[in-house]
Amino acid sequence: MDKKKVIIIGPAFPLRGGIANFNNLLAKAYQDLGNEVVVYSFSLQYPSFLFPGTSQYENGDAPNINIKTCINSINPINWYKVAKNISYEKADYVVVRYWLPFMAPCLGVISRLLRGKTKVIAITDNVIPHEKRIGDHQLTSFFIKSCDGFICLSKSVLSDLNKFTSCIHKKFFPHPIYNTFGNKLDKNKARQNLQLTKNEKYLLFFGFVREYKGLDLLLNALADKRIKKMGVKLIVAGEFYENKSKYLNLIKSLDIKDSVILKSSFISADEVKNYFCAADLITQTYKTATQSGITQIAYHFDRPMLVTDVGGLSEIVPHLKVGYVTKKDSLDIANSIYDFYNNNREDTFSENVQKEKTRFSWDKFILNTNELVDSI
């Protein structure tokens, strides 16, 4: 593989979240292959009034990659300065992360200023956002017209992208595995670390809680008489990005308070392994989705998964091989949870996860990206 100089534009450490983690790992993968890579990240990503969480930043050691924290998402003068500085880098190509229409003016202007000087490739996490607002289509269209080629992390996003552009330089490459959260732990050790009872049955709902992620569907499934009788418990690990009280009221009305363990704060990178390794089954009962990094963390820790049949989730989780693909329906979700425990499927699914995850390597992702760039 020829050595390249690559610029990545998008959030990176100390910004937190799945996209920042992805960019950190992508930069390291380029670097490990002998490429030169610089990440241009945000000095201001979201104004505080637009951010629903407690903090946009995480603690911990910085990854050993070159990160320049300099992009202000709401300052057009800054966008021109950033583009000028990137052009001085004389990169073989630029990778821009696009996930939200709010970012379209900033990322679109920077990309337009760079086109012609280098090739601009967008990794489009979402083309149509989970939570729609007036103007989304126009903003996304503005950004898409700024790029030479596109990488989609699910086939559903590729389908959405086709509605915006006839550009032939667009490909689906699956989301690589998140392997930055440490090694797999023994289940009993992980449960001990979290002060959980060793012999209980635990599901995990992990990540920011928002309406589209369907926690209410999972809570209703947990109230199913069969699931209650089995003594299944649910760990909800992540910040609430909306009104927490509606979920507390639902838990109370369903009489499942003793079956739900709430860890409603941001989970640090050091803690992630405890939650995934303590759980029997990772649940993603989303109402809408494109792809999700949660599945790739589950793959890293060899955990079976339950996902709803939305977006690209079913592309990544083969049904009855590494877990379940269910309808967006609490009864169907409950049926799968019951089947999982009643038929003791954990070991078989976990073995299949180990085989299936070989599809999701960072080296393969970079090789595919280079081939896409060369085709432009």
> What secondary structure does DSSP assign to 103-118, as a single string?
GHHHHHHHHHHHBTTB
In a 3-state reduction of DSSP, which class is residue 327? coil
**What's the pLDDT band for 186 if we cut at 50, 70, 90?**
very high
Nearest CA among 347, 335, 297 for reference residue 317: 297
- Structure tokens, 227: 């699931």
Instruction: Examine the pLDDT at 54 and tell me if it is beyond 60.
Output: no
Cα separation, 232 vs 223, in Å, equals: 10
| Fold for the domain defined by 187-359 | Rossmann fold (3.40.50)
pLDDT exceeds 80 at position 57? no
Q: Per-residue confidence at 220, pLDDT binned at 50, 70, 90? A: very high
**Residue 36: strand, helix, or coil:** strand
Measured CA to CA, the distance from residue 322 to residue 299 in angstroms comes to 9
Identify the pLDDT of residue 53.
Answer: 57
Please give the mean pLDDT across all residues of the chain.
93
**Residue among 180, 17, 181, 211 nearest 97 (CA):** 17
Q: 28: which strand partners?
A: none
Domain 5-176+361-374, CATH among 3.40.1190.20, 3.10.20.30, 3.40.50.2000, 3.90.650.10? 3.40.50.2000
For residues 366 and 30, the answer to whether their CB atoms sit within 8 Å is yes
| Tens digits of residue pLDDT in 302-347 | 999 999 999 889 989 999 999 999 999 999 999 999 999 999 999 9
Band the pLDDT of 61: cuts 50, 70, 90.
confident
- Dump the DSSP string for 238-292: S-BSS-THHHHHHHHHTT-GGGEEEE-SPPPHHHHHHHHHH-SEEEE--SS-S--
Q: Greatest CA separation found in the chain?
A: 64
Q: Which of 69-78, 94-103, 283-292 has the lowest mean pLDDT?
A: 283-292
Give the number of other Cβ atoms within 10 Å of residue 265's Cβ. Answer: 12
Where in the chain is CATH 3.40.50.2000? 5-176+361-374, 187-359
Question: Amino acid identity, residue 86?
Answer: I
At 219, is the secondary structure helix, strand, or coil? helix
Tell me the C-alpha distance between 158 and 132, whole Å: 18
pLDDT of amino acid 49? 61
Contacts of residue 347, defined as CB under 8 A and 6 or more positions apart, other chains included, come to none
